[in-house]
Amino acid sequence: MFLTRFRVNTARPGARRLLSSPQVLHAAVMSSFPALLPSDAPAPDGPRVLWRLDHTGRAEVMLYVVSPDQPDMTHLVEQAGWPTAATHSAPGWESRPYNPFLDRLTAGDQWAFRLTANPIHHIRRKDGEPTKRTAHLTPVHQMGWLLQRQEACGFRILEKPDDRRLLPAGTTSTGQPHHGDRYELTVHDKRALAFDKSRGPASRKAPVSLVTVTFDGRLEVTDPELLRRTLRQGIGKAKAYGCGLLTLAPLGTAR
């Protein structure tokens, strides 16, 4: 496994094209792996290529990729990087082995984390009607979506000390749980995306639409093996469109 970081040169036309469509960027990321054919599908329980865009500043965008194989991002440097500054020792991206870090994960470790995800649920508007996949739209429900998955993913999100909560026991004035006040967890960078999945101009398929959000928070490792699987396979749906990649960092540092 490898963890790769690529800084996007947002001033270039090619970068703007990539950033405007998750479908186009997904294709560019997958083209970084010479041995991976377009028709190849990841094994259900195996590692897969995951990616995420972090908008760290007004004009600074970082692309993170976790992959079974080491990528060659020469084409991305040419389209959306600084090709004239690239050298053999500094080709325009950083790629490091990921397994040594994964192997060091231990129960009880605490980390800062970041995750961009597509929080959804299935609803039925009336009896007898098929369920429909629907996005969670409020921060409280989006947090609840992640909290429901933490145990199966091998971690628990840390709770705030009582003296840092604005409401008693992390509740609302009506006594209902308020995840945003109880946990070391924030939701930001909500994006509603819509794009054509097919590249063919004659396609009549309905456009893909999804809502993504970014979670920042603090977690404790409860099951290292489950967490390793989560870091390799991602969380939730829309992984092809920049969702699901969970990254960890020492507490007090940027993800």
- Are 90 and 82 a contacting pair, CB within 8 Å? no
Phi, psi of 236 (to 5 degrees): 85, -165
* Residue whose C-alpha is closest to residue 152's, from 247, 232, 235: 235
Q: Where are the domains of the chain?
A: 2-102, 105-249
Phi, psi of 251 (to 5 degrees): -55, 135
The CATH T-level fold of domain 2-102 is: Alpha-Beta Plaits (3.30.70)
Architecture of domain 105-249: 2-Layer Sandwich (3.30)
Q: Assess whether pLDDT exceeds 70 at residue 124.
A: no
Phi, psi of 153 (to 5 degrees): -95, 0
Structure tokens at 154: 């091998």
**Spatial distance between the Cα atoms of 118 and 142, rounded to a whole number of angstroms:** 9
Q: Assess whether pLDDT exceeds 80 at residue 189.
A: yes
Which of the pair, 200 or 239, is modelled with greater confidence? 239
Quick: pLDDT tens for 85-100: 888 888 999 999 999 9
Q: Assess whether pLDDT exceeds 60 at residue 187.
A: yes
Predicted pLDDT at 122:
65
**Spatial distance between the Cα atoms of 10 and 128, rounded to a whole number of angstroms:** 49
> What average pLDDT does this structure show over 47-70?
91
Predicted pLDDT at 126:
67
Max CA-CA distance within the chain?
Answer: 62
In angstroms, the first-to-last Cα distance of the chain is 18
Q: Which residues contact 197 (CB under 8 A, 6 or more apart)?
A: 23, 205, 207, 208
The percentage of residues in the chain with a pLDDT greater than 90, rounded to a whole number, is 60
Phi, psi of 28 (to 5 degrees): -65, -40
pTM: 0.86
Predicted pLDDT at 248:
97
Are the folds of 2-102 and 105-249 the same? Answer: yes
Q: Assess whether pLDDT exceeds 70 at residue 253.
A: no
